[in-house]
């Protein structure tokens, strides 16, 4: 399938229409299921399931792994499992100060992982070329043949035009606005590339990891900036430009700092990693003691130095973090009130060390101010994969969305149900 064809790839919300897609999704989240269980969970007839499973087994995507030990009397039920080795997907999360790449197998298991510097002041051309090199290198070092890679999920801040694979913002630099990100990376790698919002991808990644005990929750994502996401009944709400729940640009009560968006008092301007670093820089002896020196491309590294000092018990380092966490707690109150949530997840590289402090302070703000606090105490959780959730979500988005036929050699885009036989090399 060509690039034009890929643009018509349905999003996962639409992608659930295919029977095979629903079966693969269920097996990816549940591990093993019998045909009877698949029929029960999808509401489809036994005949439809049997037919679809036969096609998936013939295509090498699913295999039988023995009999269901839970079963009582009756005809023995064979358990089905995804063939993890059949395909892989790459997820890339990138922002100005950090890049994470993960490679997942077809069942969602992690094959490889790399943490790299962010785009810095580089333009999109140089950044995408470097990403293509890193991905090629990571696949080679881990023995993953390119032919087994279904596609790449590229995860960035919003707003985005996901159809065209472009950013609709001049952040981090003007040349990023409407640069053909996915088309450029796709032609360099020879793989389909999908664009996704970082907070949405992180929510997706956490849901997949089974780390959230509810299918309706909010997520606060903090890397260089602050973003948000909301999953309702298991589906993410993306908004018009993949930039829904932008709580980094909620103006806070008492805030006055000028924000890149043109407003004043936004959560990101008052409480984002840069604001924390600036506060430490204003105290020269403290900045020197903590090794904080303030280059724009080193914001997360400086923030991490402050967080580590807090972790070691440095009370001077705790003050700017606690101030930031209280501000973000205020934004979390808005998030919880707007969507009537009882769970908020914290994800993103800024929470790697400082996460427990933020969790505690944000929970305290919610307990004090959330409208629903009398009904239930909103819970704040740290993501299970706090720094890689977004990249994992990007790779999962590919596994769940790109038709298998799009990558099988010598197949056309009109393969029925988007399934055709994958290559088998490397399968085990
Ligand atoms: Zn703003």
Residue 175: give its domain's CATH number.
Answer: 3.30.420.40
- Give the model's pLDDT for residue 1: 35
Q: Which of 82, 97, 117 is where one domain is finished?
A: 82
Q: Are residues 227 and 343 in the same domain?
A: yes
In 3D space, the residue among 101, 238, 119 whose CA is nearest the CA of residue 175 turns out to be 119
Residue 150 CA to residue 108 CA, distance in Å, equals 13
Residue 274 in any domain: the answer is yes
Q: Are residues 123 and 25 in the same domain?
A: no
Q: Which of 51, 82, 113 is where one domain is finished?
A: 82
- Give the model's pLDDT for residue 15: 38
| Å from CA of 133 to ligand 1 middle | 34
Q: Are residues 411 and 263 in the same domain?
A: no
pLDDT for 29-74, tens place per residue? 889 999 999 999 999 999 999 999 999 999 999 999 988 877 777 7
Q: Are residues 282 and 361 in the same domain?
A: yes
Q: Are residues 258 and 223 in the same domain?
A: yes
Q: Are residues 278 and 344 in the same domain?
A: yes
Residue 426 in any domain: the answer is no
| Å from CA of 249 to ligand 1 middle | 4
| Å from CA of 260 to ligand 1 middle | 6
Residue 223 CA to residue 340 CA, distance in Å, equals 25
| Å from CA of 270 to ligand 1 middle | 9
Q: Is the pLDDT of residue 8 over 60?
A: no
| Å from CA of 403 to ligand 1 middle | 38
Q: Is the pLDDT of residue 381 over 50?
A: yes
Average pLDDT on 88-105 reads 95
| Å from CA of 78 to ligand 1 middle | 54
| Å from CA of 212 to ligand 1 middle | 29
- Give the model's pLDDT for residue 407: 60
Residue 64 in any domain: the answer is yes
Residue in this structure with the two tokens 């820089």, named with its chain if needed: 281
Average pLDDT on 187-195 reads 96
| Å from CA of 226 to ligand 1 middle | 10
| Å from CA of 158 to ligand 1 middle | 13
Confidence of residue 408 (pLDDT cuts 50, 70, 90): low
Structural domain that includes position 20: 3-82
Q: Are residues 361 and 343 in the same domain?
A: yes
Q: Which of 32, 65, 82 is where one domain is finished?
A: 82
Total number of domains constituting the chain = 3
| Å from CA of 258 to ligand 1 middle | 8
Average pLDDT on 188-211 reads 92
| Å from CA of 119 to ligand 1 middle | 21
Residue 48: give its domain's CATH number.
Answer: 1.10.10.10
Q: Are residues 219 and 340 in the same domain?
A: yes
Residue 425 in any domain: the answer is no
Average pLDDT on 115-142 reads 95
For the ranges 121-135, 241-255, 406-420, which has the lowest average pLDDT? 406-420
pLDDT for 218-263, tens place per residue? 999 999 899 999 998 888 888 888 788 889 999 998 999 999 889 9
For the ranges 61-75, 91-105, 334-348, which has the lowest average pLDDT? 61-75
Q: What tokens appear for 86 in the block?
A: 């059949």
| Å from CA of 247 to ligand 1 middle | 9
Residue 428 in any domain: the answer is no
| Å from CA of 225 to ligand 1 middle | 10
pTM (predicted TM-score): 0.86
Residue 282 in any domain: the answer is yes
Q: Who wins on pLDDT, 330 or 427?
A: 330
- Going by their DSSP bridges, the two strands 166-167 and 160-161 should be labelled as antiparallel
| Å from CA of 224 to ligand 1 middle | 13
| Å from CA of 163 to ligand 1 middle | 25
- Give the model's pLDDT for residue 40: 94
Q: Are residues 179 and 293 in the same domain?
A: no
- Give the model's pLDDT for residue 33: 95
| Å from CA of 252 to ligand 1 middle | 10
| Å from CA of 259 to ligand 1 middle | 5
- Give the model's pLDDT for residue 211: 81
Task: Output Rg (C-alpha) for the chain, integer angstroms.
Answer: 22
Q: Are residues 225 and 340 in the same domain?
A: yes
- Give the model's pLDDT for residue 21: 83
Average pLDDT on 344-360 reads 97
Q: Is the pLDDT of residue 107 over 60?
A: yes
- Give the model's pLDDT for residue 209: 81
Q: Are residues 336 and 230 in the same domain?
A: yes
Q: Are residues 237 and 356 in the same domain?
A: yes
């Amino acid at each position: 399938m060509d690039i034009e064809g890929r643009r018509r790839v349905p999003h996962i919300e639409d992608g659930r229409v295919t029977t095979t897609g629903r079966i693969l999704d269920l097996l990816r989240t549940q591990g093993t299921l019998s045909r009877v269980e698949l029929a029960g969970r999808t509401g489809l007839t036994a005949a439809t399931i049997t037919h679809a499973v036969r096609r998936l087994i013939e295509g090498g995507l699913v295999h039988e792994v023995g009999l269901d030990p839970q079963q009582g009397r009756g005809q023995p039920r064979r358990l089905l499992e995804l063939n993890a080795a059949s395909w892989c997907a790459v997820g890339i999360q990138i922002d100005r100060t950090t890049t994470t790449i993960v490679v997942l197998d077809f069942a969602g298991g992690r094959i490889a992982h790399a943490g790299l510097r962010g785009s810095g002041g580089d333009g999109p051309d140089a950044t995408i070329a470097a990403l293509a090199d890193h991905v090629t290198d990571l696949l080679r070092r881990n023995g993953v043949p390119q032919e087994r890679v279904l596609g790449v999920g590229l995860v960035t801040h919003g707003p985005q035009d996901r159809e065209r694979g472009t950013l609709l913002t001049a952040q981090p630099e003007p040349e990023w606005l409407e640069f053909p990100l996915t088309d450029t990376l796709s032609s360099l790698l020879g793989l389909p590339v999908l664009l996704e919002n970082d907070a949405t991808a992180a929510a997706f990644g956490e849901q997949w990891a089974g780390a959230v005990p509810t299918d309706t929750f909010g997520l606060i994502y903090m890397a260089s900036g602050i973003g948000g996401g909301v999953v309702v009944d298991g589906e993410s709400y993306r908004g018009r430009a993949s930039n829904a729940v932008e709580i980094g640009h909620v103006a806070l009560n008492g805030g006055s700092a000028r924000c890149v968006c043109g407003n004043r008092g936004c959560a990101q301007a008052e409480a984002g990693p840069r604001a924390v670093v600036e506060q430490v820089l204003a105290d020269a002896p403290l900045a020197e003691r903590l090794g904080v020196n303030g280059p724009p491309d080193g914001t997360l590294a400086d923030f991490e130095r402050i967080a580590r000092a807090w972790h070691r018990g440095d009370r001077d380092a705790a003050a700017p973090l606690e101030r930031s966490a209280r501000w973000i707690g205020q934004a979390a109150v808005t998030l919880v009130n707007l969507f009537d949530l009882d769970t908020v997840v914290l994800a993103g590289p800024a929470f790697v060390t400082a996460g427990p402090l933020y969790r505690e302070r944000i929970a305290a703000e919610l307990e004090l101010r959330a409208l629903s606090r009398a009904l239930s105490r909103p819970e704040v959780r740290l993501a299970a994969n706090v720094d890689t959730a977004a990249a994992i979500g990007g790779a999962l988005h590919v596994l769940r969305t790109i038709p298998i036929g799009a990558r099988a050699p010598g197949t056309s885009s009109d393969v029925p149900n988007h399934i055709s036989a994958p290559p088998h090399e490397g399968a085990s």
